[in-house]
Structure 1
């Protein structure tokens, strides 16, 4: 019988230790990362115990009668012990749904962790969602470069690299997130999309201080001027492009092509995967073809990230699964 408890600060160390040792958790689930924006969300994270032993976590927040895993994170779902087996994982999921149902939550929204982030195979949650009649509500197409069998960088991207070389560009790791935010990222997002970065300059600086091996900024320079930059979130199995931005003349001077040629062929060539993220809008229903084409020029190809709604009352569907 599994016991489901709501996370409190008294479990801080145990939670973080479990994430680090889990088979599908990343630094995004560390409480220091999750709580940089705790004022925006009502935390509803759960911990699942088998007797005294912690076997799973659910990083989550709550809005009305719906629990999300987690609206402030790129991906989520159940984080499992590296020793858990499928039958036990299904029982854990049943226990979570039953607990949520008993406390008045009607719907659990799962923002799945793409398999490329798993340190070990860990798609138990996908099977559990199938068994509980979860509804697919969104599917994002993410562009992923497999470095073990990477395609060549396309000729049109190499043209940009050549422009960058001719312009005397250099790439360096920077620690001045505020400058990149002010000079490049914020103006670009505002002028092209009318939006702001998800993280403020202060927030990303704090996260980079807390996770210096995971949150990194790389910038392209020319004559003491930032021409382009990218923020990378680095996990065990891959590097993920969190932000990518270049000036208005990026196509003419090759700044982004120059930067990303360095990123994928040198800086992160040793990682198993490089995740460029999605090129979707409108909850996955629209594809930015130009952006997707640019990413594919660096050898990326398509994988999916799925989003599901499961009704907590459906925990009963797991009662008669085993034969």
Structure 2
């Protein structure tokens, strides 16, 4: 019923056009975004055709006998069009898992796109994942502001925002990623986590050039000196700060509060404002202080789940439909 092919460069335009018209895809699945780090991953993205028509894609990479929803992306899983229905997703997953099993892939890791990023309801695959007896390996809580149900900002947060105004902070939108990366982001991440940003300044600059309307950057200055900044990703209905960091100890200037208040107001036409997770260690530990700070802006939790499926379980979908 379905034909499955591994992505190659000849599919570039078809793949990208499909993502644009999908109901649960975002610009992170565009090949120009996915391939900025192609040297780090063995791409194993799959395309599912029905009678020569592309009906679904699965952005992925391979590590031996394991295939992952692409590890270079925040989310993934099966992406499909507006006309796709539940029975179709059941049948596609059945064929997809058998295809992987036949190609010596034992395990599939899936991290479905969180519901707030869906342009129309698209949780068919979560039901199918349940049918496959998938193992839940991780659960993150995304702190989200829902524009249709706004909650008040706390008094303490309003005070910190006023502190930013009092300190005469200036926010400028500019693609000066290098300044923010070198002066703020890299030192902070090294001091707090002894690691580096996922993207280098050169990589994020490249991605900004490819997606100037989707990736925007703001720096915060006091007396012409950078004190904070953010790089924000904009999908169809979600504004998500991918990176945000401030220079001063314990946010003494109020720069992060001031910046977030600005971002929330500036991107008020988006349905959701996604602060991202506050969890660590596969979701088992919660940064209580960070969680409290996000909640003080009126954010509440949306779940993002991560699953592991044995490809041999494809037979579990044989007798679902009655």
Q: TM-score range by the shorter chain?
A: over 0.9
Question: Is 2:295 the counterpart of 1:318?
Answer: no
Q: How does 1:49-64 map to 2 (within 5 A)?
A: 49-64=49-64
Structure 1 runs (4+) deviating above 6 angstroms are none
TM-score, length-scaled by structure 1? 0.98
Offset, 1:156: 1.1
Q: How does 1:194-273 map to 2 (within 5 A)?
A: 194-249=194-249, 251-264=251-264, 266-273=265-272
> Distance in 2 between the 1:206 and 1:291 partners?
30
1:30 maps to what in 2? 30
Which secondary structure does the structure 2 equivalent of 1:228 belong to? strand
Asked whether the 8 Å contact 2:227–2:248 carries over to 1, the reply is no
> Distance in 1 between the 2:147 and 2:222 partners?
29
Which secondary structure does the structure 2 equivalent of 1:321 belong to? coil
2:294 maps to what in 1? 295
> Distance in 2 between the 1:253 and 1:28 partners?
34
> Distance in 1 between the 2:243 and 2:291 partners?
15
> Distance in 2 between the 1:149 and 1:132 partners?
35
Asked whether the 8 Å contact 1:7–1:44 carries over to 2, the reply is yes
Asked whether the 8 Å contact 1:116–1:238 carries over to 2, the reply is yes
Asked whether the 8 Å contact 1:227–1:250 carries over to 2, the reply is no
1:157 maps to what in 2? 157
Q: CA offsets, 1:103-153, max 9 Å, x none?
A: 000010001210000001000110110011001000011100101111111
Which secondary structure does the structure 1 equivalent of 2:184 belong to? helix
> Distance in 1 between the 2:8 and 2:185 partners?
35
> Distance in 1 between the 2:280 and 2:212 partners?
31
Asked whether the 8 Å contact 1:207–1:215 carries over to 2, the reply is yes
CA RMSD of aligned residues (A): 0.8
Asked whether the 8 Å contact 2:107–2:308 carries over to 1, the reply is yes
Question: Is 2:280 the counterpart of 1:281?
Answer: yes
Asked whether the 8 Å contact 1:228–1:250 carries over to 2, the reply is no
Asked whether the 8 Å contact 1:143–1:278 carries over to 2, the reply is yes
Question: Is 2:321 the counterpart of 1:308?
Answer: no
1:7 maps to what in 2? 7
Offset, 1:252: 1.4
TM-score, length-scaled by structure 2? 0.99
> Distance in 2 between the 1:208 and 1:154 partners?
34
Asked whether the 8 Å contact 1:250–1:256 carries over to 2, the reply is no
Which secondary structure does the structure 1 equivalent of 2:151 belong to? coil
Offset, 1:250: 5.0
> Distance in 2 between the 1:18 and 1:250 partners?
45
Offset, 1:248: 2.8
Change (3 A) 1:130 1:311: same
> Distance in 1 between the 2:63 and 2:29 partners?
19
Offset, 1:251: 2.0
Change (3 A) 1:167 1:250: farther
> Distance in 2 between the 1:81 and 1:37 partners?
26
Q: CA offsets, 1:45-98, max 9 Å, x none?
A: 000000110000000000011100010000000000111111011101111111
Offset, 1:249: 3.0
Q: CA offsets, 1:216-271, max 9 Å, x none?
A: 1112111111111111110001111211100133521100000001111x211111
> Distance in 1 between the 2:283 and 2:248 partners?
26
2:124 maps to what in 1? 124
2:40 maps to what in 1? 40
Offset, 1:102: 0.3
Question: Is 2:83 the counterpart of 1:92?
Answer: no
1:134 maps to what in 2? 134
